[in-house]
Amino acid sequence: MSDGGERLEVWCAGKDWCPITTTASLIGKKWHPVIVHRLLTDGPSGFNDLKSSVDGISSKVLSDSLEDLQEKGLVDRAVISEQPFRVEYSLTERGASLEPVITAMAEWGQEHLRPPEEVDGGR
């Protein structure tokens, strides 16, 4: 593993699709790949910067998602200053190693998905 850290638990031992299931469980929630993508693109970010760049996410969902990504070892949270209180989120080595996966997802989407204005009339 690239970061030299502990290997992740596999939830379907003995099946040849286990690595896919395990990876999907890490980034399979709606906002997780978007958050990882923003941190890959923008680098370390504060909560409000992330909220602004992840269009449509609520503060509660962003907070819960960041906590989940931290627990899974993909995101680090660092207190930058106490007065005023400021926190910065960044990808761990494990999180950054998702770059080819996130890039492939973006490329596939650009190739195969219709732009939103074609789907819903552009609202």
Residue 58 lies in a domain: yes
Residue 12 lies in a domain: no
Per-residue pLDDT tens over the stretch 28-66: 889 999 999 999 999 999 999 999 999 899 999 999 999
- Beta carbons of 112 and 106 less than 8 angstroms apart: no
Residue 120 lies in a domain: no
- Beta carbons of 89 and 47 less than 8 angstroms apart: yes
Residue 6 lies in a domain: no
Per-residue pLDDT tens over the stretch 3-15: 446 776 666 666 6
Give the domain CATH number at 44. Answer: 1.10.10.10
Residue 2 lies in a domain: no
Residue 98 lies in a domain: yes
Q: Which domain holds residue 52?
A: 18-114
